[in-house]
């Protein structure tokens, strides 16, 4: 009797008492798996600032400082930082790009015979650097082309040094707001970007 009861009644009860369909199981397990996957992808990203190369940040910052506060300024006693000398800046970029500069100005603050950015800026040979001059207006993008101050209608130099930074990996960028005068008295603002990786 008991077995019959358990055979019919309880098994029916068991079926009706189970009350959980496959969908319930699916919902529960997928919720759990989602949480686990979320945690495994989120927690390592918390440590990202501490795993990147800390020295690159300092390198980018100091290189930018060196350029806008010393190297590209006119060689006068009243030179103000962030106000760059047009001829020296264009010569610097041309020199670093490897094109020979005819009649380089002799009163610039940098050595006009060095052509490697790493040597000029004091970087290690394995450090790659990309220096660009871009428009100051945030709504515009792209690299600026400048003419030499002496020849306002001459050829334009593309103000970029070094290869483009990689699309992946850690690239540290430092930016400065600079001001370059033209020969006719007007002046423009630009952004100098130094990217190190």
The binding site for another protein (CB under 8 A) comprises 3, 6-7, 10-11, 14-15, 17-20, 24-25, 27-29, 31-32, 34-36, 39, 42-43, 45-47, 49-50, 54, 57, 61, 64-65, 68, 80-83, 136-139, 172, 174-179, 187, 189
| CA 106 – CA 94 distance, rounded (Å) | 15
DSSP 91-133: HHHHHHHTPPPSS--TTSSS-TT---HHHHHT--TT--EEEEE
Q: Give whichever of 83 and 101 is closer to another protein, judged by the CB atom.
A: 83
CB of residue 123 vs another protein: minimum separation in angstroms?
Answer: 18
* 80 Cβ contact partners less than 8 Å away, ≥ 6 residues apart: 73
Q: Give whichever of 56 and 97 is closer to another protein, judged by the CB atom.
A: 56
Q: Do residues 103 and 112 lie in contact, with contact meaning Cβ atoms separated by under 8 Å?
A: no
CB of residue 165 vs another protein: minimum separation in angstroms?
Answer: 16
Q: Give whichever of 36 and 156 is closer to another protein, judged by the CB atom.
A: 36
91 has which bridge partners?
A: none
Instruction: Give the pairing type, strands 145-147 and 129-135.
Output: unpaired
CB of residue 146 vs another protein: minimum separation in angstroms?
Answer: 17
**Residue of 144, 165, 162 whose CA lies nearest to 90:** 144
| CA 110 – CA 116 distance, rounded (Å) | 13
Q: Give whichever of 36 and 119 is closer to another protein, judged by the CB atom.
A: 36
CB of residue 138 vs another protein: minimum separation in angstroms?
Answer: 3
| CA 157 – CA 148 distance, rounded (Å) | 8
Q: Give whichever of 68 and 121 is closer to another protein, judged by the CB atom.
A: 68
CB of residue 197 vs another protein: minimum separation in angstroms?
Answer: 14
Q: Give whichever of 88 and 172 is closer to another protein, judged by the CB atom.
A: 172
């Amino acid at each position: 009797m008991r077995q019959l009861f358990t055979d019919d009644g309880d098994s029916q009860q068991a079926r009706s008492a189970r009350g959980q369909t496959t969908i319930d199981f699916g919902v529960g397990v997928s919720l759990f798996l989602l949480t686990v996957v979320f945690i495994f992808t989120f927690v390592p990203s918390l440590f990202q600032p501490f795993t990147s190369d800390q020295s690159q940040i300092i390198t980018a910052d100091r290189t930018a400082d060196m350029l806008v506060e010393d190297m590209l300024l006119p060689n006068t006693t009243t030179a103000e930082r962030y106000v760059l000398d047009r001829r020296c800046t264009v010569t610097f970029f041309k020199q670093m790009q490897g094109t020979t500069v005819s009649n380089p100005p002799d009163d610039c603050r940098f050595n006009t015979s060095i052509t490697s950015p790493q040597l000029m800026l004091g970087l290690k040979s394995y450090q790659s650097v990309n220096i660009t001059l871009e428009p100051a207006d945030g709504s515009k993008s792209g690299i600026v082309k400048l003419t030499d101050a002496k020849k306002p209608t001459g050829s334009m130099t593309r103000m970029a040094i070094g290869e483009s930074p990689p699309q992946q990996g850690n690239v540290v960028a430092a930016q400065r707001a600079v001001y370059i005068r033209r020969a006719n008295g007007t002046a423009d603002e630009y952004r100098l970007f130094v990217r190190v990786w």
